[in-house]
Amino acid sequence: MNQLACPKCHKPLMLDGKTYKCEDHHSYDISKRGYINLLLNPDKSKNNPGDSKESLIARKAYLNTGHYDPILNEVVNYIKAHQKEHMEILDLGCGEGYYTYRMKQLLGNDHTYYGLDISKEAINMATRYDKDIHWIVGNSKNIPINDHSLDVITALFTVVNKDEIVRTLKEDGYMIHVTANRGHLIEIKHLIYDEVKVKSDKFIRLPFEVLESYDFKKTISIPKREDALNLLKMTPHYYHIKKEKRSVLDTLQGLDVTIDLRITVYRP
């Protein structure tokens, strides 16, 4: 049984044919692609929120090269080490679905998986990986999941809402938060910015019990220009390149970049 909840009244959703309904008679149809749209209009900041289609296509192409699999493996290895018989796992801000799909491949089919993103285009792309995952268009500020029903929340490079994390996790549940450190993709930053500004990370740290926290740093080689360009396009940096810096795009071939992350496991 899934743990989907109505985003309007927060009561459990039950599947009736190809429609999810709650006891207050709110209903949500499953799309032809197999996802469910639980994003309310008040939860949108614009008509098409989330990453652009260009960014999502680049992200899918880059992630499928496996260059970022070392990050995925860190997350999966923690879950494996604390695995229970059946778990409810939500990948928050799942984008086009690669991490969610690969988590299911590596952890097995005995668990229930949910992938949530605010971008309808992203979720539409995600359904092409695995239709047995519950793909949801939704907002992390109003997660359409029942109270205290999740064993694990993963949040890779995405902003989270602490109140919703507390509400949706079980008492013994935990969240794995992957965030960028100062040196993450530093080589690309030096290529496109005149000055690399250092931002404080205090606003992304959460006021929860920390079960584990460590830095993960690795240099990866990207021999193909196409892959390096896709990496750049899936980050905000690409969209901040000044006209006079556009020539750097021709120098991306044979690029070595630094992965520099903080991996934190929280228990609210």
Residues annotated within the binding site for Zn(2+) are 6, 9, 22, 26
Residues contributing to the annotated binding site for S-adenosyl-L-methionine: 68, 96-97, 184
Q: Are 122 and 94 contacting, i.e. CB atoms less than 8 angstroms apart?
A: yes
Look up residue 51 and give its amino acid: D
Q: Which residue reads 């998986």 in tokens? A: 113
The dihedral of CA 241, 96, 46, 175: what is its sign? Answer: negative
Residues contributing to the annotated binding site: 6, 9, 22, 26, 68, 96-97, 184
Look up residue 228 and give its amino acid: A
